Amino acid sequence: MRDKKTILIIHEEREENERINSMLERAGYKAISVLNSKEAVSEASETLPDIILICKESSTMDSLTLLRTLRKLFDYPIIILSEAINEDSIVESLDNGAYDYFIAPFGTNEHMARIRATLRHLSVWRDDFKTVGVFSVGGLTVDYTTRTVSVDDAIIHLTPIEFRIISLLTRNAGRVLKHEQIISEIWGPDNSDNLVLRVNMANIRRKIESDPSTPKYILTEMGVGYKVASPTLESITNKKPV
């Protein structure tokens, strides 16, 4: 059994890679560094890390393609480290399966707190596999046992984070979950970034709603939070999503 949590670092600049590695080792983690995409896939397959950290700023490595490849192969939380602070860059990363997004340089107290929060929530993430039962409302079905979501019998492919969000909402069907409640449950109490939640919610709606602008499964309580329609009380709304 591993005592230390393992973090795989992907950064093409050797000096910076080693700096991040040393910082994580001093913080009590087992850090593994690679310099390119090929090494990243091979190392992730062999060592089964708890978290993958990708540096997005790279002249030779296509970090977006790497993110998509790793997300298809593994369900480990993938964190993007980037110097880009603009919203488009954050949205692009989250849209393609990133768990979180850090602004470089790496090593702030906030970064370390969010890594700890991610690791605390890993056990909850894995426990989704142990949950049994099926939720259904209208044409939407969530099977917790097989971790599958379908709409009108068509399987919908969700990322691990998207599945956790819809799983949380459906287990609390009919109840409004506040934005901060959802963020705390999915990303931990150290994260308060509502943008991450909004991007993931928009992605889920695009996948499960026939008309995302008029959702009938995930309903918005303006300025408060979200809820999933109760199977016995409501299945459609004209509220606009935010």
- For 120-164, the pLDDT digits (tens) are 877 655 555 456 688 999 899 999 888 899 999 999 988 878 888
Same domain, yes or no: 142 and 104: no
Closest CA to 229 of 165, 169, 181: 169
Same domain, yes or no: 13 and 104: yes
Q: How far apart are CA 66 and CA 112, in angstroms?
A: 24
Domain end: 120, 137, 160, which one? 120
In a domain, residue 64? The reply is: yes
Q: What integer pLDDT is reported at residue 106 of this predicted model?
A: 92
Same domain, yes or no: 105 and 133: no
The domain of 20 spans: 6-120
Same domain, yes or no: 88 and 146: no
Length of the chain: 242
Same domain, yes or no: 159 and 203: yes
Q: How far apart are CA 158 and CA 73, in angstroms?
A: 14
H/E segment holding residue 200: helix 194-208
Mean pLDDT of 209-232: 89
Residue 63 to residues 14, 54, 57, 98, 226, Cα–Cα distance (Å): 16, 7, 8, 11, 32
Asked if 167 and 142 count as a contact pair (C-beta separation under 8 A), the reply is yes
Mean pLDDT of 75-81: 88
Domain end: 66, 98, 120, which one? 120
Same domain, yes or no: 185 and 145: yes
Q: Hey, how many other C-beta atoms are within 10 angstroms of the C-beta on 214?
A: 13
Residue 88 backbone dihedrals phi, psi, to 5 degrees? -60, -40
Between 2 and 79, whose confidence is greater?
Answer: 79
Q: Which domain CATH number covers 185?
A: 1.10.10.10
Asked if 64 and 20 count as a contact pair (C-beta separation under 8 A), the reply is no
Per-residue pLDDT reduced to its tens digit, 107-124 = 999 999 999 988 887 765
Closest CA to 37 of 76, 66, 9: 66
Residue 79 — pLDDT band, cuts 50, 70, 90? very high
Looking at residue 48, what DSSP letter applies? -
In a domain, residue 1? The reply is: no
Say what the pTM is.
0.62
Domain count, the chain: 2
Q: Hey, how many other C-beta atoms are within 10 angstroms of the C-beta on 146?
A: 10
Same domain, yes or no: 156 and 86: no
Same domain, yes or no: 113 and 161: no
Q: Could you tell me which residues come within 8 angstroms of residue 160 by beta carbon, excluding any fewer than 6 positions away?
A: 75, 125
Asked if 5 and 50 count as a contact pair (C-beta separation under 8 A), the reply is yes
DSSP 44-95: HHHH--SEEEEE---SS--HHHHHHHHHHH--S-EEEEES--SHHHHHHHHH
Domain end: 70, 100, 120, which one? 120
